[in-house]
Amino acid sequence: MAAVETTRPAPYGAITTYRAINALSNAVMVLRGWNDARVTRKALGKLSDRELDDIGLCRGDLDYIGR
């Protein structure tokens, strides 16, 4: 009975390439999250104090949204 090896080593540079792509993907996700929070704060900043009160916020809360 012959033994067959079912695992193969990764090609040279594959792990480094994977890590680089993963790091780039994580950076893009962080930038998207930052931009979403920025857009939200900007939109909420345009609301009047009464409108903010209707949704349970005050001007001081806007600095903490998205952090």
**Does the model's pTM come out above 0.75?**
no
Model pLDDT, residue 2: 66
Identify the residue with better confidence: 8 or 38.
Answer: 38
Domain range annotation of the chain: 28-67
DSSP state at residue 47: S
Q: What is the pLDDT of residue 1?
A: 59
Please write the tens of the pLDDT for every residue from 9-65.
778 889 999 999 999 999 999 999 999 999 999 999 999 999 999 999 999 998 888
Tokens of 55: 């949704």
**Which token pair is 56?**
């349970």
**Alpha helix locations (H) across the chain?**
14-45, 49-54
Residue type at position 29: M
Task: Assess whether pLDDT exceeds 80 at residue 3.
Answer: no
The residue among 24, 43, 23 whose CA lies nearest residue 35 is 43
How many other C-beta atoms can be found within 10 angstroms of the C-beta atom of residue 44? 17
